[in-house]
Structure 1
């Protein structure tokens, strides 16, 4: 779940990347190092190889190998790349043994944590255009009704990356590899896919066919239902986050919050039409 500010700095060298963490409140460096080790053991080549860690340093430091490729964010994502992204994510979800996944801490911003956070945020309505206020009000009512079911659903655990930003998916011409695991941990497939589908990087500056992407996955009926609900959850999260953006220092193009309001209203309308 992307935060509102950077939690780290990156130093890119010819053959390695040094990541220094400004924050460790959520165990970011520990999560990053743990994920690199797990993926190196069970899915070698999919993520950077862990080289060195100093969790006692201030700031904490994680050193990893440098991967080739360019981020998918900001590009026109092709059908070939969608399939490669599905393969990379499926490898993450399936390569780590179930017993090992069960032993991991929940990812940051897991379902129940996100529901609680959004309920706290919803106590303060955002300012802005009418469509933003309307979408917020309808999303808040939906959360009151459906939040508990999302938070308490019985799911099949997988290892989750914890961040749906397409900037963390590198295309090297033949395969997709993954970066950035500082919020990773135990999760479930529908929740992780919903986060990527609704991440602002999937539509604000990228040509990413979300429907085609999701069709790459064979989901159970329970996962399909949960995916729809979790997409609404993340759509509400993004509306609130974007509405909190500092107009003097905007992080996204003008009109992004209004576009997100329409996205949330469309997602909620799908529920009403079902």
Structure 2
């Protein structure tokens, strides 16, 4: 069994199956996981685990799925083959669900306006903890956010896709020939630019062995509107990560020393 203090679930690994038990009160996450597994089992078989069983009513809502082969991409040095396979898996994930079915998929959590609200609530406390470089990056990020227009109501004028809702490269498994995807508790209706930014800006994509962002993003045929939105989403999510990392527990850090300072540099580069 694997779990962590900040996790919403535990995972029991069998020889051919995986049992994911969500913590009490996390039925919605269980529902999102099961919805994704059943949709992709129908429209993109082999991309994600096969759904086996579900119990929404248990004290700890539970999903049982097949166990996929492969090793997580997080921490690996990704060459052209892995990067191409990652992009192919993400493309398939975004495009597999037919538009008529996609309209019935609920919006994913952690959307643009949600994370902006989180930034606003974190800012007073986080700015009091950071050093000069980190606070300066926060201030630059907040100034950019105020003039970006991202806080305006309404949804972006780009096509919607099914989004996994988590850019952690640990959720992408490489078996030597292809990449498959796991972990859909935050999945739902999204757009491609936001989902790609989730991957490129997630701390897992650069803290160990960095993902080649230019090579990765160059494998997607984005519209002009998506390209413009991607740049804004990358800045927004880099700002989110700056706050998240600055609020990390100093007694039990989740990332190496100096990570928040490196994130400040990343945000500064994205802001130009």
Q: TM-score range by the shorter chain?
A: over 0.9
1:150 is displaced (CA, Å) by 8.7
Q: Which residue of 2 aligns with 1:71?
A: 72
* 1:1-274 superposed matches below 5 A: 5-22=6-23, 24-25=25-26, 27-126=28-127, 127-146=129-148, 147-149=150-152, 152-269=155-272
CA distance in 2 between partners of 1:80 and 1:153 (Å): 33
In structure 2, do the counterparts of structure 1 residues 245 and 4 end up closer, same or farther at CA, with 3 Å as the change threshold?
Answer: farther
In structure 2, do the counterparts of structure 1 residues 25 and 46 end up closer, same or farther at CA, with 3 Å as the change threshold?
Answer: same
TM-score, structure 2 normalization: 0.94
In structure 2, do the counterparts of structure 1 residues 180 and 97 end up closer, same or farther at CA, with 3 Å as the change threshold?
Answer: same
In structure 2, do the counterparts of structure 1 residues 16 and 223 end up closer, same or farther at CA, with 3 Å as the change threshold?
Answer: same
1:58 is displaced (CA, Å) by 1.1
CA distance in 2 between partners of 1:104 and 1:26 (Å): 16
Name the SS of the counterpart of 2:250 in structure 1: coil
Contact 2:102/2:162, CA 8 A, preserved across alignment = yes
1:123 is displaced (CA, Å) by 4.0
1:122 is displaced (CA, Å) by 2.6
Q: How many residues align?
A: 267
CA distance in 1 between partners of 2:222 and 2:124 (Å): 34
Name the SS of the counterpart of 1:10 in structure 2: strand
CA distance in 1 between partners of 2:163 and 2:233 (Å): 14
CA distance in 2 between partners of 1:144 and 1:52 (Å): 46
In structure 2, do the counterparts of structure 1 residues 26 and 217 end up closer, same or farther at CA, with 3 Å as the change threshold?
Answer: farther
In structure 2, do the counterparts of structure 1 residues 194 and 26 end up closer, same or farther at CA, with 3 Å as the change threshold?
Answer: farther
Contact 2:126/2:247, CA 8 A, preserved across alignment = no
1:26 is displaced (CA, Å) by 7.6
Q: Which residue of 2 aligns with 1:272?
A: none
1:219-264, CA deviations, whole angstroms, 9 ceiling, x for partnerless residues? 1111110000000000000000000001111110000000001111
Contact 1:190/1:230, CA 8 A, preserved across alignment = yes
For structure 1, list consecutive stretches of 5 or more residues without a partner in the other structure. 270-274
For structure 2, list consecutive stretches of 5 or more residues without a partner in the other structure. none
Deviates more, 1:206-215 or 1:38-47: 206-215
